[in-house]
Amino acid sequence: MHTVKAIYPGTFDPLTNGHLDLIARGAKIVDELVVAILRNSEKGTPLFTVPEREEMIREAIQGFDNVSVTTFNGLLVDFARQQGAKAVLRGIRAISDYEYEFQMAMMNRKLDPELETLFMMPAEKYTYVSSRLIKGVFRLGGDVTALVPPLVVERLKAKTVTPNNE
């Protein structure tokens, strides 16, 4: 039987409803979707640890029977091959995502011509949502409950109520 497994890699610091929207769309067209948190991210200090991010994703994907979550290190193409995945899922929110995503897709194709990158667009209402913006708005007291899963709201709050927080 011919089944398609795809990897949805990212930082997910933290998971947003935009990510979840993409997961739902991806899960409809591939047989198996693996959300994979990159452990060796070059993005600077994350707000949430990898196990914290994994836990929030695990809770949010409970309703999907063909979606799982894991972590990986190193090259995405190596991880995809290990997993027997034929495709990588990535999201495009706006033109600003395009250039970086295009470069990554081309580089991954160079490294493994067999691996395809699949791009999907989220619902319009999530096109402006990013993990970075969520953290920034939350830190300044803004309400993000409509933009992230409930457990993420809870965990964001828990991060803030530490003693000596400025």
CA distance 84 to 102: 23
**149 is a site residue for ligand ADP (CB under 6 A):** no
- How many residues bind ligand ADP, per CB under 6 A? 17
Sheet holding 87-91, edge to edge: 67-72, 32-38, 5-10, 87-91, 116-120
| From candidates 11, 35, 67, 156, binder to ligand ADP by CB under 6 A | 11
Determine the 3-state secondary structure of 54 from DSSP.
Answer: helix
Confirm whether 93 is a catalytic residue.
yes
Confirm whether 68 is a catalytic residue.
no
Contact string 44-83 vs ligand ADP (x = CB under 6 A): ----------------------------------------
Catalytic residue among 19, 53, 90, 155: 19
Footprint of ligand ADP on 20-39 (CB under 6 A) = 22
**90 is a site residue for ligand ADP (CB under 6 A):** yes
**Nearest Cα to Cα of residue 156 among 20, 57, 37, 47:** 47
Q: What is the 3-state secondary structure (H, E, C) of 92-150?
A: CCCHHHHHHHHHHHHHHHHHCCCCEEEEECCCHHHCCCCHHHHHHHHHCCCCCCCCCCH
Contact string 93-132 vs ligand ADP (x = CB under 6 A): x---x------------------------x---x--xxx-
Please say whether the beta carbons of 48 and 83 come within 8 A: no
* Binding residues for ligand ADP (CB under 6 A): 10-12, 16, 18-19, 22, 43, 90-91, 93, 97, 122, 126, 129-131
